[in-house]
Structure 1
Amino acid sequence: MLDTGATAWMLTSASLVLLMTPALALFYGGMSRNKSVLNMMMMVFGALAVVAVIYPLWGWSMTYGGQPIAGIFANPFEQFGLMGTFDGAAVDDFGVPAWVGVAFQSTFAIITVALIAGSLAERVKFGTWMVFATLWVTLAYFPMAHMVWGGGLLSGDGPIAALTGTAPIDFAGGTVVHINAGMAALVIALVIGTRRRFGKEQVRPHSLPLIMLGSGLLFFGWFGFNAGSAFTADGLAGMAWVNTTTATGAAMLGWMLYEQITEKHATSLGAASGVVAGLVAVTPAAGALNPVGAIVLGLVAGFACAAAVSLKYRFGFDDSLDVVGVHLVGGLVGTVAIGFLATEGGLLFGGGFALLITQVLIALVALIFSGVVTFAVAKLLQKTIGWRVSDKDELLGIDLTQHAETAYEPQVLAGNY
């Protein structure tokens, strides 16, 4: 039976998650140099355009279709274009129409692809990025979403759950979204290589206010991401809301504490990055913790992600806007920490090691799957249409050479190359 209250909540949640994509564009745009801010925003908006079209064509069918293939994905043609066997009049167990489920899940796919763009700033062809977004969402995101949420290999019906006797927990996307996108960002950054003079010159964000605004809007939209994953307006949604806010505040404190210890000052960039780190870490865990566990998770995630961001210079990979340090590390921390902190089954709550082992295993499988698929797609595009813009185009500014536009007047551009 249709529940109009639950339906209204899920439509609101879908809209909140969609808001996260332009919020991410602001966040990434602020972190970029002023000669590449438009390109960074265009990569995020480009991901929105591609996935918004693909999801109703074959994304929903591959994720939630009724004809699974080896537990990895479902038949993309069964419900192609939301026709055939798709029953748009059906409602789920919460009284929410199937159409609203499509709306909600499509926004998750959009933001996941857009996250990867931050590792490629200032050096790739826009056209190649659009092709990559199409291939990656099809070959990596939809299968991962099916494996975790569609009854596949990483779900409660899969072999890992059968082996450990415990169903995995991924409330809103630790594996599907953050480990998936974070691992992809690492692999693709390694395949494409660094920007000119990476590590030899200091590259500063061009607009800290844009970063702060973007992080604030991400925080706001994330309530649709986490509280919306309760799939109705109930106590679980409220708990997820509280845990999301609590963990995010703690992660900000953890990040700023790391900065205070290592740099002797806390920064606005660190505070904004701490917001995202906390949101990432609590995403898989929002429905499984109490507020004290959320505080512990947030503090650990903020400190760990801040430390991880500095490692890209030590290891020499150009994760331009810290996707790996925030999303991969934050996603891993959140996914594994469930095994310790979950109030039902967590090691610290007397649940033994079963849930912890389960969480570690699903994180490892997600890492391997995303890494292999991303490497194959990235190398294919490298050998065919090519990734890199020329050194001259990179020097002039990718906004001008790829889009024939600039965000600022030429005299402003001159100071931040």
Structure 2
Amino acid sequence: MHTIREALNLILQHSRYPGTAIIPLEHTLYRVLAEDILADRDYPPFNRSAMDGYALRSGDLKDSNSLKLVYELRAGDHFEPRLQPGECIGITTGAPVPADADTVVRVEDAASAGSRVTFSVAPVRGGQNIAFRGEDIRAQDVLLLKGTSITAPRQAALAMTGHTGVAVSRLPSVAIYSTGNEVQPVRKNGPPHHIRDSNSYALRGLLQSYAIHTPVHDPVPDDPAALKRAFRKGMQADILIISGGVSRGAADYVPGVLEALDIQPLFHRVRIKPGNPLWVGVTPAKNIVFALPGNPVAVQTAFKVFIEPFIRSCLGMPPLRPYYFPMNIPRRKRTAFDEYFPVVLHGVDKHTRVHPVAYNGSGDGIAAAHADGLALHPAGRETLEQQEEVAFYPWHHWF
């Protein structure tokens, strides 16, 4: 039986870069940059007032607290004349500071009467309340690196720098199938011994962090012929994800059906909890198949540990980086496997702690709904002590 690291290495050997596409800026949210993005000019592109107030020469307030007001400058305007000694101009936030002015005094620290402004602050420093040209970024400096996921603030930065079309990694196609006689579509209200298909929605939601959208298929019953029909269609996708039917029960037909479709297994079973019966294989077309156990937390764990790193590798993204936080309370486990468990974060900054969610095992999808992510209890460690640092994996990464 493979360790997590051994299994992941086998999986990553089959990642394939899907190529690039140039798409409009408005469609780039959560897409992955396929090239470095450079700033088109200095930002700010001019010395910009950071406050509503008065632009002036700081030296003019050494001998007097009153200056002559000669102009009112607003954002989008430009002051052409030279600012003479003893003069100031009114200025709004975002307006260009005249070349002869070296400071902006905020409006709260001044009083105007006709053509005179009296200032109530002293001394005045040169450079205060001015955002200087190029202090954010210089022209042709790297704004965003290749392999970066485009979040809303990054999309805004692309707009700010005039990038109307952006080169991104193409998205792999993904097909998702839940299996099991007991699994029903969400729209159906079946008897108590049936369950609704939550796994498809968990997987679709996690995939959408990477702008991958895939339709929901009705669950497939535990029938080899029905499974074969569904998987034959699904294996045309770059990634096929199946939940349920992979263990050793009498109705666990999935591995046999997949192998009957000439899908070459990479491994079956991993030293992990939850998710031990994981089956992974490769189609004749070199597409990858993940067959996951059916319990909800096992599905979500398998995605975080195996499928997400594979997708990131395909898209040219860096590997995931866990956060490390101390445990809020001790935790014991009985298996020798690496064990992932749902947690919430308590506190902020240096006081952040990982706290396990009340959890009734891998079938407890409600526990995952109340969690911020998963923490790792490493193999070989029976107990995690209070204050001991553990790896924490949030449900969504955007790095």
Shorter-chain TM-score range: under 0.3
TM-score by length of 2: 0.25
Larger Rg: 2
Higher relative contact order (CA 8 A, sep 6+): 1
Between Structure 1 and Structure 2, the one with more helix by share is 1
Between Structure 1 and Structure 2, the one with more strand by share is 2
TM-score by length of 1: 0.24
